[in-house]
Amino acid sequence: MTSGAEGTWSYEGYVPGDEHLREALCTLGNGVFATRGALPECTADEVHYPGTYAAGCYDRLTSHVAGRDVENEDLVNLPNWLTLRFRPRDHRGPADWLHPDQDRVLEHRTTLFLDSGILERSTRYQDPQDRRTAVRQLRLVHMAEPQLAALRSEFTAENWSGELDVESALDGTVRNAGVPRYRDLNGSHLVDVHPGFAAPRHITLRCRTRTSDLRIALAARTTSPDPVRAQVVDHHTGRAAHLLHLPLTQGRTVTVDKTVALYTSRSTAISDPLWAAVDAVGRAPGFDELLASHLTAWTQLWRRAELDVPDEAGHILRLHLFHVLQTLSPHTAELDVGVPARGLHGEAYRGHVFWDELFVLPYLNLHFPEVSRALLTYRHRRLGAACRAAHDAGHVGAMYPWQSGSDGREETQRLHLNPRSGRWLPDHTHLQHHVGSAIAYNIWRYAEATGDAEFLHTKGAETVLQIARFWADRAVHDEDLGRYRIRGVVGPDEYHDAYPGADRPGVDDNAYTNVTAAWVLARALDLLDTLPAPRRVELAERIGFDGGEAEAWGDIARRLYVPFHDGVISQFEGYEELAELDWDAYRKRYDDIRRLDRILEAEGDSVNRYRASKQADVLMLGHLFPPSELGALMRGLGYELDDTIWRRTVDHYLRRTSHGSTLSGLVHGWVLARARRAEAWNFVHEALIGDIADVQGGTTGEGIHLGAMAGTLDLVQRGLTGLQTRDEALWLDPAPLPELTGSGYGFTIRYRGHWGVRLRLGPGRVHLTVPASDRVPILLELPDRAVSVRPGESCDLLLPRG
C-alpha cells in the first residue's frame, strides 16, 4: 500500500514479495548513476536486489543458450556502494547481523520524498535475544555533484546497552542477476576487483568490465560524530569494509554517515577514476552540507518542470516526473547516452535504448531542451553505424537498430525465452525499422519546439536525410498496385513477426511503418527546401546526395501503399485473412492475457495466426499526429481518412488488443480522448498506475517503464491541451478529461528562450503568463483566433465550445 502527503511516496510494513517493486520505485539517481531502493543491510537474493547503474556503462558477454552461443550487451550492475549492516552487542555477546528476513520486524516504513530526492527508511528490529533496535536512514544520490552519494544512519537501543557494530562496505562481488529470465545468461561483468584504503576512514574499490574495459572506482568515507571505541579497515576478496564499534546505552541514538564517490573511465574531466574518487570523497563536506546543496538542485529542477494536476492523478504524475528527472537530468546533456527504456532502475531489456524517446523527448523539449539535444546527438554519433548496417543489409541510407547500446550496432537478441513454456524462441523484433522514423520525428519536433536551426541544419539534417534515403531504398514499386511497398518488417504491435506458416520473418506494408516513412520523406524534402544553399552543398558533398534522389522521394512519399479492409486501415497487408481470436474464452481460461503471445506459444499455437495486437500499432498514428495533420498526411498519399473511418479503425483495434505493454494504455487513452472521450479515462488510468500497481505482472521490479511514465506527462502537456509548436507559434486545441484534470490544471514550459511560461487550463478557458525577458512575443493560436502575448504579460482567454 502506498500513502503519504503530496510530495511523498510511502510504503508501510515489510512485505518480502513487494521488495523488488519498491526497490525500483524508490530508486534514487541524478542522470549519471542511480541506485535501487534496497535496504543497505541486504545483499542480492530472491527478495532483495541492490543494483547501481551508470548511464552508458555497458559490457558485452557471450553465453551458451539452447545449443548456440549468443552475445548480449548489458547495462552493468556496478559495485554496491550502499552496503551497511549492523548488530547489537552486549553482555550476552553479539547478535547476527540484523536482517529483515531473519529477525522480527516490529515496524517498517519507507518514504520517498519526491520534492527533495531523499529516501527515508525507519525500521524497528527485535533479535532472538529480544533486544530491540531502531534504525532510521536518509539516502541521497547527489543531484548537484553527480559523482557523490550519501547515507545517514541513526541507531537507537530501545531496551539494551552495550555496543553497536556497524560495517560499511563497498562490494565488488555483484553480478547482473536482476531479471529471472536472463539468469541462464552470463552476468559476470566485473573483473580485476581490488579493494583498498586511502586513509584511516576511507576505503576504496576499483575494477573494470570484462569486455568493454571500462574502469570503475569507488571511494567511501564512514564517520560518526559519536564516540567510536574502535574502527577497523577490513579487506576480503572483492570487498572493502570499514567496521565501527560504537558504545550505545538504552534510549540513546548514535549516527553514522557514509559518503561515497563513484567514477568511471567515461567520467569527464578526470585522468584516473580511482584518484578522482578518492579526491572527491576526501573533499566532500559533511552530510548536512551535502543535503543542503542537493535540496537546492532539486528545487531548481522542480521549478523548471512545474506541474499542477489535482488529486491522486497529480500525485502519481509527480512520481513519474521524479523518475524522468533523475534518469534524464541536466547532467545527461554532458553525456553520450540514449533513453534507457527501463530507466537506470534495473536490468530489464538489458538497459538498451529502443524507441521510447518518442514518448520522452516531446516532454523534455519544452523543459530541458539541452537534454533533448544531447539524446538526439547520441543518435547522430551512431549515424555511421546505422549507415553501415544498411549497407550490410543491401540498402543505402541509415538503418538504425531496434535496440541500441554503447556503439550503435543492433543489440536485439536473436533468441528470447518464453517463461510460460521454458522454450528459447527466435526473436525477429530487429525488423522494427520504424525506429528510424521515430528518430527523424524527434529531430523535427525538437526543432519546431526550440527553433534550434543550427542543430536541424547540421546533425539533424544529416540524420533525417539518411533515414529518408533508407526508406526510399526499402520502398519497391508494385506495377499492379501502382504504388510503393515496404516488405519484411515488424510493426509496433510486435506480436506479428511473420505470416502464418511463412519461411521468412516480417510482414508487408505495415500501415504505421509506411505512413511514417512517407512523413519522413516529406519532411526530408521540406528540409532540403529550407537549408541554406552553402549547407546544402556541404551535405551533397558529405553524403553524396544528388537532386535525382529528391525527385524520387517525392514520388514515393505520395504513393506508398496503405492497406485497408472492411472500411478500416489494415495493420498490414493480409491482416484481414487472419483468424479471429475467441477473446472471451481466453479471458475466462487465463487470469491475465496481456502476454497473449506467450500463452499461445505455450499451447503450441502462434499469435501470428490471429487478429490480435500486443499494443497500439495503427493507432500509434493518432498519437504522433493531430487529427488534422494525420488527415492531410493520408490525403497526400491518396487516401481519405475522415472522422468516420478513423473512429471505425479505433473501434476495430480496440477490440483486438491485449495491452501487453505499458505504452498501450497510454496511446489508447491519448487517441480516445479525442475519438471517444467517454472511454478514455480507463486507459489513461491504467497508464498512470502501470508501474505503481505493476499491471504487467512483476516487470516493474526489473526496472520502471520510462516511456510510459514520460508519456503520461506529455498526455497532460500536449495530448489533452492539443499543444503544438509549429509555424513559429504555440497552438492549443484542448480536449478536457475531467477524471484526470478536475476543474483545472497547469504547468510551465520553456519555449524558444522564454523560461517559465505558465499555462493554466480550466473549463472553457486558458490562462497564459509569459515572464519578463528580452524575447519576442509568443503567438498563441486557438481554434478560433490568434493572440500575441508579450514578455511580462498575461492573458485569460475563453475557449470555443467543442
Residues designated as active site? 494
Whole-angstrom Cα Rg for the chain: 27
Task: Provide φ and ψ at 194, rounded to 5°.
Answer: -125, 105
Cα separations (Å) of 702 from 13, 351, 359, 434?
A: 21, 10, 20, 26
Beta bridge partners of 202: 199, 221
Q: Which amino acid is at 410?
A: E
Q: How far apart, in Å, are the Cα atoms of 359 and each of 156, 333, 422, 680? A: 46, 18, 32, 18
C-alpha grid cell, residue 37: 531502493
Backbone angles phi, psi at 89, to 5 degrees: -140, 120
CA distance 196 to 311: 51
Q: Supply the DSSP string of 434-472, one letter for each residue.
A: THHHHHHHHHHHHHHHH--HHHIIIIIHHHHHHHHHHHH
Backbone angles phi, psi at 565, to 5 degrees: -150, 145
**What SS3 state is found at 655?**
coil
Q: Amino acid identity, residue 167?
A: E
Q: Extract the runs of DSSP E, i.e. beta strands, from 516-622.
A: 564-565, 568-569
User: 95 in helix, strand or coil?
Assistant: coil
Is 56:333 a contact under the CB 8 Å cutoff?
Answer: no
Give the Cα separation of 432 and 380 in Å (integer): 19
| CB-facing half-sphere around the CA of 183: CA atoms within 13 A | 10
CA 138 centroid distance within chain: 25
Per the CB < 8 A criterion, the answer to whether 788 and 753 are in contact is no
CA atoms lying within 13 Å on the CB side of residue 628: 5
Region for 93 from its dihedrals, namely left if φ exceeds 0, alpha if ψ lies in -120 to 50, beta otherwise: left
* DSSP-derived secondary structure for 505-522: -BBS--HHHHHHHHHHHH
d(CA 401, CA 707): 18
CA-to-CA distance for 31 and 327, rounded, in angstroms?
5
User: Which set of grid coordinates corresponds to residue 799?
Assistant: 475557449
Task: Say what the alpha-carbon torsion angle 590, 591, 596, 597 is, to the nearest 10 degrees.
Answer: -80
> Which residues make Cβ contacts (< 8 Å) with residue 82, sequence separation at least 6?
35, 38, 40, 50, 52, 139, 151
Q: What are phi and psi of 221, to 5 degrees?
A: -120, 125
- Report d(CA 6, CA 196) in Å as an integer: 43
Describe the crossing of helices 680-689 and 662-675 by its angle, rounded to 10 degrees: 150
| Phi, psi torsion values for 784, nearest 5 degrees | -115, -5
- Number of residues that this document lists for the chain: 802
Which among 424, 464, 408 is positioned nearest to 440, based on CA atoms?
Answer: 464
Q: What region does 66 belong to: left with phi over 0, alpha with psi -120 to 50, or beta?
A: left
In Å, what is the CA distance from 650 to each residue of 7, 76, 316, 662, 733?
37, 41, 27, 18, 21
Closest CA to 256 of 152, 120, 122: 152
